[in-house]
């Protein structure tokens, strides 16, 4: 396989403003292509916005969602990809002909949609149906996979995608800086974002602490390391509806090492070179070869009652 250059981006999306979000996607894609990127990855629901969808009715969700591949945003992505001779990966809400709703993430090149993944574990809106398949596709001679946000927290999904042949897994998110039962978790005060130019230190402390990046580092490198894959993590920065997100979009190699990361308190992107040699040198490659599914295959396939609904915990200080 030839080396490939991949970019991951972060930006502050606007809720429901597809034209604006696509204009930012176009601008960043052009810049990343100028640095030799063959593919540019954006965050979960980067086209539509994400967190605001928790307030939307089914009818409003259907108005927001698009058909894939014929939706107008998909046509716009195809133009962006064609103009820059790259593959663009971005997310939106999808509807089908039966008005089923999904959280989708697509890879689009000059020919159109080359891959689509439906989030296996959606939860931002109760009208979303889960996807039921894994996604592996070819990109410039590389086998790639897609898993959206919470899909990556269920470790079997990452291993399954790797076992299906993916050497690169795109991991678009809208995550961090929300309350949970985990010690140190919580919202970050939007006033820190508003004051970031005068006081970046206070904001960075919150973004990099246990509310944000420090939590991410507990598990994201392990997904790359244990499976011997490149992980392309994308996340928004700034306000997403009424919640502040910390960005830190990054690319990790099969050793679990960060080889590129967005560090601006602003819209940003980074580009990294993906090489074949690390795949077989990594521990994860050896671990997959050493598996003994005869010992635990039946255990892993045991029936259980999957979690039907995942919700973000409310901030105890919130009145909402």
pLDDT of 254-287, one tens digit each?
999 999 999 999 999 999 999 999 999 999 999 9
Q: What is the pLDDT of residues 179-225, one digit of tens each?
A: 999 999 999 999 999 999 999 999 999 999 999 999 999 999 999 99
User: What are the structural domain ranges in the chain?
Assistant: 4-287
Kindly tell me if the per-residue pLDDT of 28 is higher than 70. yes
CA distance 4 to 6: 6
Position 310 pLDDT exceeds 60 = no
Which pTM does this prediction carry? 0.95
- Tell me the CATH number for domain 4-287: 3.60.110.10
| pLDDT, tens only, 111-164 | 999 999 999 999 999 999 999 999 999 999 999 999 999 999 999 999 999 999
d(CA 41, CA 269): 9
Q: Tokens in use for 319?
A: 């009145």
At 306, is the pLDDT very low, low, confident or very high (cuts 50, 70, 90)? low
Are residues 178 and 54 in contact, defined by beta-carbon separation less than 8 angstroms? no
């Amino acid at each position: 396989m030839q080396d490939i250059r991949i970019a991951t981006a972060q930006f502050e999306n606007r809720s429901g403003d597809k034209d604006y979000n696509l204009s930012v996607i176009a601008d960043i894609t052009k810049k990343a292509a100028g640095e030799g990127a063959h593919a540019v990855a954006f965050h979960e629901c980067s086209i539509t916005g994400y967190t605001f969808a928790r307030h939307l009715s089914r009818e409003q969700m259907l108005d927001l969602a698009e058909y894939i591949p014929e939706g107008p945003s998909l046509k716009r992505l195809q133009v962006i990809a064609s103009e820059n001779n790259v593959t663009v990966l971005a997310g939106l809400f999808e509807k089908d002909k039966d008005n089923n709703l999904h959280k989708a993430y697509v890879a689009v090149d000059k020919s159109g949609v080359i891959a689509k993944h439906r989030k296996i574990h959606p939860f931002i809106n109760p009208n979303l149906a889960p996807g039921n398949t894994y996604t592996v596709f070819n990109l410039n001679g590389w086998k790639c996979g897609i898993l959206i946000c919470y899909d990556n927290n269920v470790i079997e999904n990452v291993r399954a995608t790797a076992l299906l042949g993916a050497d690169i897994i795109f991991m678009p998110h809208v995550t961090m800086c929300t309350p949970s039962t985990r010690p140190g978790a919580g919202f970050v005060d939007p006033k820190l974002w508003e004051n970031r130019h005068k006081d970046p230190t206070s904001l960075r402390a919150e973004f990099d602490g246990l509310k944000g990046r420090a939590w991410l580092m507990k598990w994201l490198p392990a997904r790359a390391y244990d499976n011997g894959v490149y992980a392309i993590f994308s996340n928004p920065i700034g306000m997403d509806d009424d919640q502040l997100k910390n960005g830190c979009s990054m690319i990790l190699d099969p050793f679990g090492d960060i080889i590129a990361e967005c560090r601006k308190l602003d819209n940003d992107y980074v580009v990294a070179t993906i090489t074949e040699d690390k795949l077989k040198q990594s521990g994860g490659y050896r671990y997959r070869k050493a598996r003994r599914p005869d010992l635990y295959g039946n255990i892993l396939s045991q029936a259980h009652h999957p979690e039907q609904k995942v919700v973000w915990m409310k901030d105890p200080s919130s009145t909402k």
